[in-house]
Every structure is written in C-alpha cells, then in structure tokens.
C-alpha cells in the first residue's frame, strides 16, 4: 500500500495519543525542591514553521517568555521540511536542525517510552511533557516542577561571562552536561509556502546553536564562556543524560 508524505506527517502528529502528559522516568534519583526556588523553570517548545498546529503554541510561548521565573526555549525540528501540501507546496523552516529533532526524540524515549515525535510539544524542566498549545496543562506542569535545581549565576564582562554553579542538594550519581545555547531573542516570519502559507509567525528565544561547555559533578564550580554578539541571546542549562535519553534539567539561567 502506498503511503504519502502527508499521511506520514499525520501519523507523526497523532503519536500524541501515546502519552500527552507524561512524567519523567528520572535517570538518577533527584531530591525534591526546597521551599525557596534556587533557579527558574525551563519551558521548551519543539515546533516547526511548516506545522499548521504550531502557531498557537508559538504565541503561548512568546507570552511565557515574558515571565522572569522561566527560561523559555524554542527548538525547530526538521521532519516537516520536505512535506508537500498540495498547491501550497513545501516550506523548509530556516531554523530547523536535525540535532534538535534528535533532542526531541531523546526526551520522548525517557518521557514517553518511544522515539516518535510530534509538534507542537512542550517539555517542562526536562521532566514532563504535553501538547505545546495546552496552556492550562503547561501552567500546571510548571507549578508542579518539584525536583531540586542547582543555583546558577552569570557575570558578564564584555564578550565573556563567568558561570558560577552552586553545589547540588546531593551528590550526583553521574556527571551532568553543561550547555551554552545561542538564541535569537525575537523573530517575525511570514510563511510563503507549505501548510502555514500566508501565516505570520512571531517567535521568542529560537535556539540557533547548542554546544557543550563542561560537565557538572554536583560540586560547586565556575567556568568562563564567550558570549554571542549583541543581537543574540544566550542561555546556560545543566542536564543529565544517559545514552539516547535526556533527563531533568538541574540548573539554568539566561546569560544576561
């Protein structure tokens, strides 16, 4: 039986039925948060400019980006790029990256027990997930984010910054990875082709680059990084990982 690309796209989207509110299968035991939060919660959106159900999620996350208690990140996946939507044709998301698709699949292996992916998908603190435009459920997951976070402070000096990370609540079973993310703070796009033809999109904190800059054992530490140019933003996240599965985020901060 012949399967069209559009049918495959619909199949990817309908994978949401497996577990829309999944909780983390934590890769190592983490203590609960104290009564005083030590850092912001990270809200990630996996999206695509070629996904017709994504604009409401991008609008929601643009609003969440105004909150001082959140680190909001927008990752653009690439599996919609080659899909043709009749006369509307295809649209390759200029911010899509196969590495970000891989990141989403690593989350889903841990959170949903499958390497399948769908958009829009929200992941909160690396520990829970839901559909990216479900505002009430996302708000609940943010308020219920209960694992401990390491304190993380960034001191900028010109083109460089010093990252000071506090000791974790308990010794970590395995080192976590420290990533520096380069962000596009705001992006406005009028999509000319594809499923979103004619739609105007407004995005916040689009991830342009992600590179590992160190590891975190749970002991207090400092490291220095080069910050991006003035028209780009920057964020630091500490995250556990085992094999092809991503675990909870253990610390995060914007660079400014």
Quick check: is 176 in a domain?
yes
3-state secondary structure of 90: coil
For helices 55-64 and 135-143, give the axis angle rounded to 10 degrees.
Answer: 40
Q: 211: domain range?
A: 5-18+39-254
pLDDT tens figures, 124-146: 999 999 999 999 999 999 998 87
Quick check: is 55 in a domain?
yes
pLDDT tens figures, 85-104: 777 788 999 999 999 999 99
Quick check: is 181 in a domain?
yes
pLDDT tens figures, 193-223: 988 999 999 999 999 999 999 999 999 999 9
What is the residue-averaged pLDDT of the chain? 87
Residue 185's domain is classified under what CATH number?
2.60.40.10
Longest dimension (CA), the chain: 61
Number of domains forming the structure of the chain: 1
Q: Tell me what pLDDT residue 230 has.
A: 84
Regarding pTM above 0.85, the answer is: yes
Quick check: is 29 in a domain?
no
Quick check: is 24 in a domain?
no
Quick check: is 141 in a domain?
yes
Q: Tell me what pLDDT residue 39 has.
A: 77
DSSP code string of 91-121: ---TT--HHHHHHHHHHHHHHTSSS---SSE
Residue 44 has pLDDT above 90, yes or no: yes
Quick check: is 25 in a domain?
no
Q: Tell me what pLDDT residue 116 has.
A: 92
Phi/psi-derived region of residue 214, left when phi > 0, alpha when psi is between -120 and 50, beta in every other case: left
Quick check: is 31 in a domain?
no
């Amino acid at each position: 039986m012949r399967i069209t690309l559009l049918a495959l796209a619909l199949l990817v989207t309908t994978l949401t039925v497996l577990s829309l509110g999944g909780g983390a299968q934590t890769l190592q035991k983490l203590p609960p948060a104290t009564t005083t939060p030590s850092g912001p919660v990270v809200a990630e959106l996996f999206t695509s400019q070629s996904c017709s159900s994504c604009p409401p999620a991008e609008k929601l996350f643009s609003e969440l980006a105004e909150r001082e208690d959140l680190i909001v990140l927008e990752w653009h996946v690439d599996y919609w790029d080659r899909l043709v939507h009749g006369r509307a044709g295809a649209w390759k998301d200029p911010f899509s990256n196969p590495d970000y698709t891989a990141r989403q699949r690593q989350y889903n292996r841990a959170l949903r027990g499958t390497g399948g992916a769908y958009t829009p998908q929200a992941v909160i603190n690396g520990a829970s997930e839901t559909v990216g435009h479900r505002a009430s459920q996302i708000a609940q997951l943010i308020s219920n984010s209960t694992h401990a976070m390491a304190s993380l402070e960034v001191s900028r000096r010109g083109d460089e910054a010093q990252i000071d990370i506090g000791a974790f609540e308990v010794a970590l079973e395995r080192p976590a990875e420290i990533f520096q993310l380069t962000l596009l703070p705001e992006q406005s796009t009028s999509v000319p082709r594809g499923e979103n033809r004619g739609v105007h999109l407004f995005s916040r904190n689009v991830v342009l680059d992600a590179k590992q800059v160190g590891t975190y054992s749970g002991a207090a530490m400092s490291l220095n990084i080069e910050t991006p140019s003035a028209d780009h933003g920057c964020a630091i996240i500490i995250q556990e990982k085992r094999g092809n599965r991503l675990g909870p985020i253990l610390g995060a901060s914007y660079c400014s």
